[in-house]
Amino acid sequence: MDFGRSETGPANSEQDLVALKILIAGGFGVGKTTLVGAVSEIRPLRTEEALSAAGRPVDDTTGVEQKKTTTVAMDFGRITLREGLVLYLFGTPGQDRFWFLWDELATGALGAVVLADTRRLEDCFAAVDYFERRGIPFAVGVNCFEGARTFPPQAVRDALDLSDSVPVVLCDARDRESTKEVLISVVEHALEASVRRRTPEPSAP
């Protein structure tokens, strides 16, 4: 699937449809499937399987003991931010053994959301490192679980050692409007990064 400007639509359309690919990443049980389902305007595609006894030695369910299923390939959803601008959302699997899928899912992505749970913040380190090493713009969405202590965005930024340019947004992955704010932040961040890359450095005197 190619992402960018589409030639489909009415011939007299004032603007072409722009389709952008956004990844939703993060640790196991952080709420990626919930976020995609909450915000998608279509019935989301899910590739979930029940957690099995065979996976217990490798799937750390500490803090998410109630979780009964896991994403084994991807979640897929779609949301229209405004007329002519559509986001295709690809939720990545959280466990290490499925990370071979990440490179394929990341192809053509404008940016990513790293979903974080402050009770298990270390679970999102790998996703942050993945996008930093590949130069893919990302925002951190802090999923505020009920009963969990809430930290200010700057405290999360410091804990993850993020640059000041990376957006950190508190959110509720179950709430459509809340997750939209996270998606808007990553699109704006990615577009700003694109402009910076295209702007030539001033020549030395």
pLDDT, greater one: 142 or 1? 142
Query: Any idea what DSSP says for residue 43?
Result: P
CA distance 71 to 182: 21
CA distance 56 to 68: 11
Asked whether the beta carbons of 124 and 32 are under 8 A apart, the reply is no
Kindly state the helix (H) or strand (E) to which residue 79 belongs, with its residue range: strand 69-82
pLDDT tens digits for range 20-51: 999 999 988 899 999 999 999 999 886 654 54
CA distance 131 to 73: 19
Count CB neighbours of 12 within 10 A.
5
Q: Does this model's pTM top 0.85?
A: no
Residue type, 69: T
Q: What is the pLDDT of residue 198?
A: 82
Asked whether the beta carbons of 32 and 69 are under 8 A apart, the reply is no
CA distance 114 to 121: 11
CATH number of 4-193: 3.40.50.300
Residue 84 Cα distances to 9, 17, 57, 119, 195, angstroms: 10, 4, 46, 38, 20
Domains of the chain by residue range: 4-193
> How would you classify the pairing of strands 138-143 and 111-116?
parallel
Query: Any idea what DSSP says for residue 123?
Result: G
Give 114's contacts (C-beta < 8 A, 6+ positions apart).
25, 26, 124, 127, 128, 131, 138, 139, 140, 141
pLDDT tens digits for range 165-196: 999 999 999 999 999 999 999 999 999 998 88
CA distance 3 to 85: 11
- First-to-last alpha carbon distance for the chain, in angstroms, is 45
pLDDT tens digits for range 47-97: 654 544 444 444 454 554 454 444 445 889 999 988 899 999 999 886 666
